[in-house]
Structure 1
Amino acid sequence: MKEDEDGAERLWGKCAAVEGLFAEPAPLPREVLTLRGCRPAGVLSEALTHPGGSPLSLGDLCVEVQDGAVPEQWWTLVDVAVLAQRPHPDDPERYDIVLGAGVTTDDGSACSPPAAPGFELFAGPTVTAAGSCAAVDGLYRTRKEPTPVPLRLIGCEPAEPLLRALRRPQRVNGDWARLLVLDRDGAAMASLVVGLSLGETRPSVIGGALVDVTLTDGGDERPVPADRAVWAQWFHGPPETPNQWAVYDARGRAAWLDLTTRAWRTPAPRSDRSGGVHRLDGRFVTDVPGLHCALSEALLGPGGYFGRGWNAFRDCLCGGFGVVPPFTLIWHDSEVARRSLADVVHDAEGGLSYFQEVVALLERCGVSVVLE
């Protein structure tokens, strides 16, 4: 599917299968950066007390660059390892921290810092505060784009727009389209952005008048191979019974939330409903993705979407997703989440666990939360 000049989506073609739908993203080159004058918090603060030896891995760090107090740019440091640390020469209460990481940004224009830069650090999928610093040496430099990972459309039946593009591929190179992945009943279960840089086209291995078309850039929204089991389950249709996500680890549960986000199974609700009692089955809430799976099911039923992280969940509570406060939420077996998320902190200054923050947010928004 691709938008035409009038903004209407047009079908470019259908295919029987996609080779390369599940793919690891192209690895980013490793770089060495230095956080100057850093006041660490959360996982970054813990890293400074880590004993010597192999570099401590912190996962991903988000760098929010502010102009004064206004956020302007967002960078992601991928698979961060702490390589060295030392007191900052002008302030012994601050540190210069040397990191190894891949570097990426959603804003390709972020090639220079703003006029009055400030740097805030956040960690993990829960966007937990990890400190602040005065500068990040090595952040602003020219980088090559990673080599894209191709995608092959198998058994493709091109519609007229794609036939025209195949005759003159240079006209669409660098453009984009949406790849709708259908379940076995023909309903769209996911939507992925793919590049329209056309590579090899040849008679299909399936036969007939079909063709196999290679897209040289399959996009960066694809699931990874570890997500196959979750996608296979959704291929048989949206879940009809609760807790089907519970058998997966945190990675699989995050993939489950991806599908609730992307699914086009039902239209957006015409109006939100409030009031009533919702019951949350807390037996399997052992991580942050599990918490959001359980919350979404409690409010909207199996396969429903009500946020996949802190910011999205907060936005959903403001309305537009089928349920809006006030209502009552009875959280059964809440002690499971209290214990499992005791060390997961969203706001380092507030000092509350992720579980406590979610409960507090619900109550601030007018939800009566009953913990059982």
Structure 2
Amino acid sequence: MEPPKYALAAYGAEDEADEIWALCADAENLFGDPPPPARGTYELIGCTPEGELSEALTRARADGSAPLGTLTLEILDKEGAQVEEWSLEDVRVLGDRPCARDLSLRDITIEASESPDNPYDYPQCPPLSPGYRLLGAQNEPWGGCRDLAHILDGQPDLAEPSVRVLGCAPRGALQAALDAGEEDLGHTRLIRLDDSGRTVQSAVEGELVAWIPSARGRGLVDLTLEPWSERPPTAAEEVWELWDGGRPTEPGLWARCGAEGRRHWLSMALDHHEPDRPDAEAGGTFHLDGRSVIDLPGFFCALGEAVNGPGGYFGWGPDALEDCLRGRWGTRWPFTLVWHDAEVARTCLGLVPRTGQRPWTFEELLEFFGEKGIAVRLE
């Protein structure tokens, strides 16, 4: 039998070591990246266009359509104060016409992608709201509109394939269900293992719905699992391979990962954090290797490593970092952070087009640490 890369455990078992249903050689159709934001058609109803939106309308009337960029809708309460933001990206203006509700206003048709940072799927104005304030990528005013309509295209969502778990050696409740010829094989959790058979990370949860004898060995089976939880991203595979020998002992392995891999590295580091390990004494000094800090996930990978060693975790975003500073995550404030090769981050963590939740800049990181009493030395 091939060395197992995965284990199937009983869903909801408190002690998974006692409830392993099978050790499995591999899995197919496991990873599932979210699809790129679909292009949709929207109508901004009852608009008073200003600035670049007004200019794009003029171009669209002449050319048939015109690019606009990022459009942010500020949701207003009945007093006209901002409640929340909701954004559309890669906006293209398709045309306009007089608003049926008020002929002094315009209904503007656009094509766009929803921002992945939106707080919810569709914006809803509170009762008696005047509608939305429209803003550009740099927060410049583009007018307002009373309502937003999404014109649905009627295309069905594509079904994801079932996960196939291959070369499984069943045991326990799963073996009993197979021996009894039961159709209901149970609810399970698929776990990625390292080379020593220890848990790397939970992969997906779901229902076992079918099995066949496996070509990978006598007595082995291939199982079909229908997930009900979110599948791991494709980037998880490269991270798992770097953790195949257990928690890393070599610094900087996270830098081998792409952008999505660095994000998943943070989830891995969080899963392997040891909450009972005592904190370092306050007032200490930590050295952050900044050579590969080219984005915010990279900064948090490097920070976790600086505080807690290779594979360490010390936050994945602003709120999580603030929690870590309170203790039980390796250290507590105050401390000194020596940021080596800081010029890499100063160059890469610059301003980006503004969305509802844009990443921190280099200067904002320094400001945050200053507010929290963390001394940062740039080297």
What TM-score do you get using the length of structure 2 for normalisation? 0.68
Give the direction of change, closer, same or farther, for the CA distance of 1:146–1:308 in structure 2 (3 Å limit). Answer: farther
Look up the equivalent residue of 2:210 and give its one-letter code.
E
AA at the equivalent of 1:256: W
Matched, 1:235 2:241: no
CA distance in 1, matches of 2:263, 2:91: 26
Q: How does 1:62-81 map onto structure 2 within 5 Å?
A: 80-81=89-90
- Aligned ranges for residues 119-198 of structure 1 at < 5 Å? 135-138=147-150, 146-163=158-175, 167-169=181-183, 177-196=188-207, 198=208
Aligned-pair CA distance for 1:135? 4.7
Unaligned runs of 5+ in 2: 1-8
Task: Give unmatched runs, 5+ long, in structure 1.
Answer: 123-127
Cα distance in 2 for residues equivalent to 1:19 and 1:129? 45
The 1-side partners of 2:240 and 2:191 are apart by 13
Matched, 1:357 2:368: no
- 3-state SS, counterpart of residue 14 of structure 1: strand
Partner of 1:125: none
Aligned AA (2:319): N
Give the whole-Å Cα distance in 1 for the aligned partners of 2:203 and 2:40.
29
Aligned-partner SS, 1:178: strand
- Deviation for aligned residue 1:289: 1.9
1:213-249 CA distance string (max 9 Å, x none): 011337433221x554443222233221222222444
Shift of 1:337: 1.0
Q: Please say if 1:308 is aligned against 2:316.
A: yes
CA contact (8 A) 2:75 2:123 kept: no
CA distance in 2 between partners of 1:303 and 1:234 (Å): 9
C-alpha distance in 2, partners of 1:62/1:294?
Answer: 33
1:215 aligns with 2:222: no
The answer to whether the aligner puts 1:290 opposite 2:325 as a matched pair is no
Q: 1:315 Cα deviation (Å)?
A: 3.3
Tell me what 2:343 maps to: 335
The two structures, once aligned, show a CA RMSD in angstroms of 5.2
1:268 aligned onto 2:279: no
Higher CA-based Rg: 2
Aligned length: 347
Q: What is the match of residue 377 of structure 2? A: 370
- C-alpha deviation, 1:184, in angstroms: 0.7
Give me the whole-angstrom Cα distance separating, in 1, the residues matched to 2:343 and 2:367: 16
Rounded to whole Å, the distance in 1 between the matches of 2:164 and 2:134 is 38
Secondary structure in 2 aligned to 1:215?
Answer: strand
Displacement of 1:115:
4.6
Aligned-pair distance for 1:286?
Answer: 1.7
Instruction: Look up the equivalent residue of 2:361 and give its one-letter code.
Output: Y
Matched, 1:250 2:259: yes
d(CA) in 2 for partners of 1:192, 1:57: 37
Query: For residues 39 and 12 of structure 1, what CA distance do their matches in structure 2 show?
Result: 62
Cα distance change on mapping 1:165 and 1:279 into 2, 3 Å: same
Tell me the amino acid that sits aligned with residue 369 of structure 1. Answer: V
* Partner SS for 2:30: coil
**Contact between 1:25 and 1:149, CA under 8 Å: does it hold in 2?**
no
Give the SS at the match of 1:235: coil
Q: 2:3 maps to which residue? A: none
Deviation, structure 1 residue 195: 2.1
Aligned partners of 1:269 and 1:321 also within 8 Å: no
Q: 1:33 to 1:352 in 2, by over 3 A?
A: closer
**2:215 maps to 1:205:** yes
Alignment of 1:7-18 (within 5 A): 10-18=19-27
Match of 1:20 in 2: 29
- 1:4-26 per-position Cα deviation (integer Å, ceiling 9, x unaligned): 4x866543332121122334446
Contact 2:117 2:355 in 1 (8 A): no
